[in-house]
């Protein structure tokens, strides 16, 4: 997993839960990297699971909720870190339809070894509903939901988000967005 995800996660923990909590997470003996991350590095996905799990235990907060909070936070940070990815996008649906066709392509140029989820989007005829199919071996659909909510907040649109289908192992999730 790319280091930028780790560094932004730790920044979020510091901002929302305090420096002491971030320090507690980073000093876990289970972390192969010893809790030292750089934005351009690549780290074992299991370390992210360890950090999220520990944060959930320490704060007594469900992990799916923490992943959504992180996704929302991460979207706001990606706006700052990679503004070119958001240029000329006028609304949520326009942005989301470009994830696999353009944004993930650009991300792979920056990070050729990134393992990205597959996201397929389909708009209905009157463009008031979008169906998204999220596929990932990492099963981080809650993070994806947070990113989607961050996108909705950014464009300031009234859109409801519903998970309408999820495989047993969480690697395939169908999400429906409806404009109000």
**Mean pLDDT, residues 139-159 taken together:** 96
Contact predicate 145/177, CB 8 Å: no
Residue 74 lies in a domain: no
In the prediction, which pLDDT does 84 show? 84
- Position 155 scores a pLDDT of 96
| Total Cβ atoms within 10 A of residue 81 | 12
**Cβ 148 vs Cβ 103: under 8 Å:** no
Q: What CATH code is carried by the domain that includes residue 116?
A: 3.90.1520.10
In a domain, 82, yes or no: no
Range of the domain at 14: 3-61
The number of domains in the chain is 2
The pLDDT, as a whole number, for residue 102 is: 79
Q: Give the up-direction half-sphere exposure of residue 41: CA atoms within 13 A in the CB hemisphere.
A: 12
98-129 pLDDT, tens digit per residue, is 888 877 887 788 778 878 899 999 999 999 99
What is residue 35's predicted lDDT score, i.e. its pLDDT?
92
**Radius of gyration of the chain, Cα coordinates, nearest whole angstrom:** 16
108 occurs within a structural domain: yes
Give 123's strand partners: 130
| Strands 118-123 and 129-135, sheet pairing | antiparallel
- Predicted confidence (pLDDT) at residue 180 exceeds the cutoff of 90: no
Residue 2 confidence (pLDDT): 87
The answer to the question of residue 40 being in a domain is: yes
Q: Are strands 172-179 and 118-123 parallel, antiparallel or unpaired?
A: unpaired
pLDDT, tens digit, 9 for 90 and up, residues 22-56? 999 999 888 999 999 998 888 999 999 999 999 99
Residue 85 has what DSSP assignment? G
**Is the residue at 119 inside a domain?**
yes
């Amino acid at each position: 997993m790319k280091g930028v995800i780790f560094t932004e996660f730790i920044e979020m923990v510091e901002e929302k839960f305090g420096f002491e909590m971030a320090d507690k997470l980073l000093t876990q003996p289970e972390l192969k990297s010893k809790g030292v991350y750089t934005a351009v590095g690549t780290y074992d996905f299991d370390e992210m699971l360890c950090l999220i799990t520990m944060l959930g235990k320490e704060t007594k907060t469900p992990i799916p909720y923490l992943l959504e909070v992180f996704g929302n936070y991460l979207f706001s940070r990606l706006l700052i870190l990679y503004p070119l990815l958001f240029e000329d996008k006028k609304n949520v649906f326009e942005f989301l339809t470009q994830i696999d066709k353009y944004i993930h392509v650009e991300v792979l140029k920056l990070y050729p070894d990134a393992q990205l989820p597959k996201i397929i989007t389909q708009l209905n005829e009157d463009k008031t509903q979008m169906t998204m199919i999220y596929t990932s071996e990492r099963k981080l659909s809650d993070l994806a939901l947070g990113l989607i909510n961050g996108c909705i907040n950014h464009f300031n649109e009234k859109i409801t988000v519903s998970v309408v289908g999820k495989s047993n192992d969480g690697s395939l999730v169908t999400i429906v967005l409806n404009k109000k």
